[in-house]
Structure 1
Amino acid sequence: MTFQSIDNLPSDVKEQLPIGAQQVFLAAFNSATSDGLSENKAMQVAWSSVKNLYKPDANGEWQPDPQRAAAEQTDMGSHEGARRNPLGSVPAA
C-alpha cells in the first residue's frame, strides 16, 4: 500500500501535522513500503522521519525543529548550489 498524495494520508496524520511534515511522512512511508516493509513498520519509519525534522511545541503543534534547521543551514554552506529534498539528503545529480 502506498499513499498517492497527502490527501490520502490517515486523518490523524493530516490533523496533527503541517503540510511540510505530511510531505515528509508521505515520502518516508512510500519509500519504506517500496523497500518491502510492512504497513506497520512503514508507519514507524514515517513517524520517525517526521520526528527527526519536526518537534511538537508547547501547544502540541508540530513545528520544524530549530536545531535541525540550524544544522541544515550550516551543512548547506559546505554544498554550494546543492538542493535538498524533504528528507534532508542531497539528491543525485
Structure 2
Amino acid sequence: MPSSDITPASIKLLRTIAEKDDGHGVVFHTEPRSRWRLDGSRYTVNARTFFPLAGNGLVDVGNGSTDPVKITPEGRAYLQKLDHDKKPEPQQSASSAA
C-alpha cells in the first residue's frame, strides 16, 4: 500500500482521475505557477499533488508533460480500500443487543 505522504488534495486528484479515465487517460494542461488544469474544466492542481500518486504507482503520468494521465489498477485498489475503511460499522440497536 502507498506511504502516508498522500494528502487529501492528492486523494481528491486520484478520485477525479478515476472518475474521468475511460481507459485512454485524462488530459491536463499546464497553467502558470506549476499548476495543471483538467481538460474541459476549471479543476486545477499544483504539480506536486501528482508526485505521491505517481511515486506510489497509483497513476501513470506518461512523459509527465503531454501524455494523458491514467489511473493504474493499484490506484483503483487504493481507492477501494479507502472507501471500504471509511464505511462506518453497523450500529446495533438496543433491542438486538439484549
**Is TM-score (shorter-chain normalized) higher than 0.5?**
no
Q: Which has the larger radius of gyration?
A: 2
TM-score band w.r.t. shorter chain: 0.3 to 0.5
- Tell me: higher relative CO, structure 1 or 2? Use CA pairs within 8 A at least 6 residues apart: 2
* Greater share of helix: 1
Q: TM-score, normalised by structure 1?
A: 0.32
